[in-house]
Amino acid sequence: MADEDLEKQIKSLAEKMDGLEESMSKVAGPYAQLVDYIERFQKISSSYFKMLGLYQRYGAISPDLLIPGVKDSISRDIVKVLFERDGQNISQITDKLKDMRGTSSRRIVRERLKGLEEKGVVRSKESPRSREYWLTEAYVDKWFELLGLGVGRRSEEPSPEKQDGE
């Protein structure tokens, strides 16, 4: 009889423990979510302070920070134009540069694009009507890393690896 009472008490305690565990998991859920929000906030604020540091150090936050070897302003402006919108041909890039700089030449833009391709900043893709220029994935990834935003890929243009495999 004593064993039976003891068994009932143990069973009752086990049920209460299960109920307590269930209640604790319900209560802990929002706290886990809060921790996730706090971690995201820390990443965002860290990126923000990193951008402030870049601005203080260089006076601007621009993609051309990643290509210190490129000294001429035309090439730097070409990179800025392609960051605004990838997949442009020489005429479109030249027109944008004319808007930015007041003057631009297709011949010079072509030469600068060739140099940027050699440096691995730009890649070209031949289309039936013209040649279009894109920033390389590696360059875009470096830009996102510099800003502290992690690696980000733009989905406007499929990568060449995906195109070749199709």
Residues 139 and 78 in one domain: yes
pLDDT at 66 (0 to 100): 67
Share of residues in the chain with pLDDT > 70 (%): 81
> What is the domain extent for residue 126?
63-165
Same domain, 49 and 75: no
Residues 150 and 109 in one domain: yes
pTM of the model: 0.57
Q: How far is CA 33 from CA 59, 70, 134, in A?
A: 38, 45, 39
Q: What is the DSSP string of 83-125?
A: HHSSSEEHHHHHHHHHHHHS---HHHHHHHHHHHHHTTSEEEE
Of 34, 60, 86, which residue sits at a domain end?
Answer: 60
Per-residue pLDDT tens for 86-141? 889 999 999 999 998 888 899 999 999 999 998 888 999 887 888 999 988 888 88
User: For residue range 45-70, what is the model confidence (pLDDT) as tens digits?
Assistant: 887 887 788 778 767 676 666 666 67
How many domains are there within the chain?
2
Structure tokens at 31: 């706290």
